[in-house]
Amino acid sequence: MTEKYQQFRKHVGEIFDLDAVVSVLEWDQQTYMPSGGAQVRAMQIATVYRLWHENLTGDEFSAALEAAKEETANLDPDSDEVRIIRHMQREVDQWRKVPSEWVSEFKRLTTLAHQAWEEARANDDFAHFQPHLEEIVQMRRQYSEFFAPYDHPYDPLLDYFEPGMKTSDVKAVFDELRPRQVELVREIAERGAPVDDAILRQNFDTSKQWDFGIEVIKALGYDFERGRQDKAAHPFTTSFGIGDVRITTRFDPKYIGTALFGTIHEAGHAMYDQGISPSLDRTDLINGASYGVHESQSRMMENLVGRSRPFWKAFFPRLQQYFSSQLGEMDLETFYRAINKVEPSLIRVEADEATYNLHIMLRFEIETALAENKLSVADLPEVWNSKMEEYLGLTPPNDADGVLQDVHWSSGYIGYFATYSLGNLMASQIWTKMEEDIPDLTNQIERAQFAEMLAWLRENIHQHGAKFEPLELLQRVTGNTLSVEPYLRYLTGKYEEIYKLS
């Protein structure tokens, strides 16, 4: 490639480096840093992030971008070169609206808020987190104002995580989903054959849980030569480059589901990042098409693979070897039904597939109300609890298992939650297409053979990184736009069988 494009890529690489350095600092904060490091770490992250923003939005980079654009004007519109330029143009346009001081202050604030959230959750003390969250909400409203005019003040927040998606789009999807999802949960409660998951709630040695999780994700295709796993308060995946994609997990010694499905979920994210084309390394495009597409990959691994009967045909005998006294006498069918038990519950990340989206809708309503300035942070615990009652028929006994349960708001991630539900929908759409292309898929999963599945995902989704916007990617892969039907078909079919509804 020509000289000006090379010059542009040099800038892109340096901007990426600064962003990746922040990710390393954040990974360290959430895994190994002692709590005493929080104040100074917040300054370090704020400094590096300000440099990132100044580089990205500076005149020098814009000039390099323009020169590269001219030089590559005749290339294939789907080429890496054109797509990288387009992506960086979008980033520049977006971040030029936001002052460097805001970016730096927001990073400092959220780094400290993360610490406060961990403490507040551990001590069930919302008041400890409240002032931090008030500042975050305040700054997030400011962020929206940088993008005025908008249709809805939540639009700029959502667009950050799901490019091209509007608040009204998500509302429309949820309006379609809600009645059918609620109806399914009601039918299961009223007519379903009882399912008992007490076998999952025994004492499970956490080091054995760790070992089994590693065995599973290695089989799925997570590459430990280019990654590692550590413990964290809230599981996450982070990528510093295609050669270093890390995951974290957490354990409950009295419930095997937490670590098991959490680990598979994060490995789904990580395999996406590990599968991105090396030609995109050291660019912003290695973070995937969007958070929704990312969740489609993690939730696909967690649920369509990890909670499926074929998967456990392969892995249940191994799990029994790890935990022979707890599960040795158990049959596969009882286990399969237990891990798919539908029951309204307090904690989103442990929710079954039938109730999961209800947790998301609740958060989406709260976030849009915060963006509209119709809800104050001080009222959040009460509003949370009343919405839990409305959606799931439960009142959290404390804030730690209520409004404080998720890490997202402490990281400033207001606008994120909807992407989980969008990911659920996309996962089913992508899966339907993959099953057409790999007719033998079920048999392969039963034999713990995932190579063809992973190769298909790499070919169709992973390798592209953020070259295509989410809906464009979905269209290219499935030939369709976003739809609730494949997801509802999957869900209904699965639970009609488990709960013997038909």
| Nearest distance from C-beta of residue 412 to Zn ion, angstroms | 17
| Nearest distance from C-beta of residue 269 to Zn ion, angstroms | 6
| Distance between CA atoms of residues 502 and 496, nearest Å | 6
Q: CB-wise, 195 or 427, nearer to Zn ion?
A: 427
| Nearest distance from C-beta of residue 38 to Zn ion, angstroms | 25
Sign of the Cα torsion 317, 323, 328, 332 reads negative
Exposure string for 207-216, b = 16+ CB within 10 A, e = fewer: eebbebbbeb
| Nearest distance from C-beta of residue 106 to Zn ion, angstroms | 22
Structure tokens at 388: 């839990």
| Nearest distance from C-beta of residue 265 to Zn ion, angstroms | 6
Q: CB-wise, 249 or 298, nearer to Zn ion?
A: 298
439: preceding bond cis by omega (within 30 degrees): no
Q: CB-wise, 167 or 298, nearer to Zn ion?
A: 298
Q: CB-wise, 298 or 424, nearer to Zn ion?
A: 298
What distance lies between CA 175 and its chain's CA centroid?
A: 22
Residue with the CB atom nearest Zn ion in the bound state: 298
Q: What residues make contact with Zn ion under the rule CB under 5 A?
A: 298
| Nearest distance from C-beta of residue 295 to Zn ion, angstroms | 5
Q: Where are the alpha helices (DSSP H) in 323-417?
A: 324-327, 332-339, 353-371, 380-392
Q: Find the largest Cα–Cα distance for the chain.
A: 68
**DSSP bridge pairs for 239:** 245
Structure tokens at 79: 């080429």
> What three-state secondary structure class fits 230?
strand
- DSSP one-letter code for 193: P
394 to 137, 384, 387, 458: CA distances (angstroms): 27, 11, 9, 41
Q: Quick check: 43 and 108 in contact, CB under 8 A? A: yes
- DSSP one-letter code for 349: G
- Element of type H or E holding 245: strand 245-249
- DSSP one-letter code for 482: -
| Nearest distance from C-beta of residue 152 to Zn ion, angstroms | 25
396: preceding bond cis by omega (within 30 degrees): no
> What three-state secondary structure class fits 191?
helix
| Nearest distance from C-beta of residue 361 to Zn ion, angstroms | 17
As to burial, measured by CB atoms within 10 angstroms (0-12 exposed, 13-18 middle, 19+ buried), residue 194 is: exposed
| Nearest distance from C-beta of residue 495 to Zn ion, angstroms | 22
Structure tokens at 325: 């006294």
Q: CB-wise, 185 or 407, nearer to Zn ion?
A: 407
Q: Quick check: 444 and 452 in contact, CB under 8 A? A: yes
Residue written as token pair 């028929």: 393
Q: CB-wise, 298 or 357, nearer to Zn ion?
A: 298
Q: CB-wise, 298 or 492, nearer to Zn ion?
A: 298
Q: CB-wise, 144 or 429, nearer to Zn ion?
A: 429
| Nearest distance from C-beta of residue 345 to Zn ion, angstroms | 18
Q: CB-wise, 289 or 327, nearer to Zn ion?
A: 289
Q: CB-wise, 135 or 273, nearer to Zn ion?
A: 273
Residue 307: closest CA among 285, 338, 349: 338
| Distance between CA atoms of residues 318 and 473, nearest Å | 37
Say which of 81, 266, 295, 469 is annotated catalytic. 266
439 to 308, 382, 445, 476: CA distances (angstroms): 17, 50, 12, 20
Q: Is 266 in the active site?
A: yes
Structure tokens at 312: 């456990």
Q: How many CA atoms lie within 13 A of 137 on its CB side?
A: 20
Q: Quick check: 293 and 475 in contact, CB under 8 A? A: no
- Positions annotated as catalytic residues are 266
